[in-house]
Structure formats: C-alpha cells, structure tokens
A and B are shown apart, each in its own frame.
Chain A
Amino acid sequence: DVVMTQTPVSLSVAIGQPASISCKSSQSLVGTSGKTYLNWLLQRPGQSPKRLIYLVSKLDSGIPDRFSGSGSETDFTLKISRVEADDLGVYYCLQGTHFPNTFGAGTKLELK
C-alpha cells in the first residue's frame, strides 16, 4: 500500500498567520490517466471529514481561496495564507490513485 507521510503532526498558529502542511507519498501519485489523485481533507472536532482540495490544487466549492494545494509526483503541500478560527481541526492528505486509497496520519491545527 502507498504510505502517506504528513508533517508536522501538530501545528500551533496565531489567527491571521500562514500555515503549511507537507504530505509525502511512498510512490508517485500520477495515475495512468496522467492525473494526480491527491486530496486534502479537514476534520473539525466531532464532525465528518470534509474535502477541501482534490487533484492536488483544485478547491472544492465553497472553500475560501486562503487555501491552496501544490505539489507533484510524491511531494505535496497544503497552505493556508491566513489562518482563521474556523480552520482549526485535523488535516489529512488522501491519495486516490492507487488501490487501496490511503490517508496520512493527520496534522492537528491549533490556535497559538
């Protein structure tokens, strides 16, 4: 199975400051179609995960453009340009290229 390694495990950020999360995969996530099926999810306390970004950098509907995704092959990054209180929770990367799909262990974003 593809191993997804997320860093850091936790992140303490002040409101209005930027945040960045890294996700590295144990093999390339470029599929046979040429697309890279890398998603970012946010799970707020007591809620189901919510997809924020798909295909590396495409924002889901309603997701503010403070969020951005980048990367290729095996290295990917989620950036939040200015953290807001509503951004708190656990962020997961998820690859959908290889079966079984696999998740990172999560990065907990907390307020400083």
Chain B
Amino acid sequence: QVQLQQSGAELAKPGSSVKISCKASGYTFTSYYISWIKQTTGQGLEYIGYINTGSGGTNYNEKFKGKATLTVDKSSSTAFMQLSSLTPDDSAVYYCALNWFAYWGQGTLVTVSS
C-alpha cells in the first residue's frame, strides 16, 4: 500500500534552515508528483508547491518562493523540503502528499524558537 513516511519533529533557531524528508513506498516513485502543504492554527492549510519526481522540476506558490526548496532522491524514493531563513512564522506542521492529495504523510512539526 502507498505510504509516505516523514522525518521527525525539528526545533530550529531563527535564521537557520531545516530539511525535512518524505519517504515514499508502495508504488513507483516517479509515477506521481509530490506536493507539500503547511498547516498552522492561524493560517490553516497552505499549498507550498510540488515537485515532479521524475524530472525534478518544481512549481512553487509565490508566497513560498525563496523560503522552500523542493528536491528528490530517486534512488531512495525520498522527497525533501528545505526551509531557509527561518522565523517564528515558519513554525507549523508540514505535510507531503501525492496523487491529487489521495495520500498524505503523517506530518512534521517544525518549531522555530531561540
């Protein structure tokens, strides 16, 4: 069965970067794009962008350009999202999802605090 396993919670300092992972299994990795979504209590669910797992091509929500960088490692069937220049506003749960949101990872909590 399709599974998306995300990396564990991160505690980061303002100005630093974090890289979270989303390991896929149960299907051919390059068959589906992987999307990333941010969830906060205040802003709800926000779409960050997606990566074409075959070509590595990306498309970002304008709001997250310069903040998020999406990459993949086909050899390990893993997608990554790096968040840079972190501020407290980046504190959130981040999800990966695929196949038009049919499958979701369990979420990764990122906390930005000094």
What separation, in Å, do the CA atoms of A51 and B44 have in the docked complex? 16
Q: Is B30 an interface residue (CB 8 A)?
A: no
Question: Distance (Å) between the CB of B41 and the closest chain A CB?
Answer: 11
Check B47–A60 contact: CB distance below 8 A.
no
Question: Distance (Å) between the CB of B61 and the closest chain A CB?
Answer: 4
> Which of A100, A105, A106 is in CB contact (< 8 Å) with B61?
A100
Total number of A-B contacts with CB less than 8 angstroms?
44
Q: Known contacts A99-B59, A100-B61; is A51 also within 8 Å of B45 by CB?
A: no
Check B47–A51 contact: CB distance below 8 A.
no
Nearest B-chain residue to A94, judged by Cβ: B101
Check A48–B45 contact: CB distance below 8 A.
no
Which residues of the partner chain B approach A102 to less than 8 Å between Cβ atoms? 47
Check B44–A60 contact: CB distance below 8 A.
no
Question: Which residues in A have some Cβ–Cβ distance to B below 8 Å?
Answer: 37, 39, 41, 48-51, 54, 60, 92, 94, 96, 99-103, 105-106
Question: Which residues in B have some Cβ–Cβ distance to A below 8 Å?
Answer: 35, 44-47, 49, 59, 61-63, 95, 100-102, 104-107
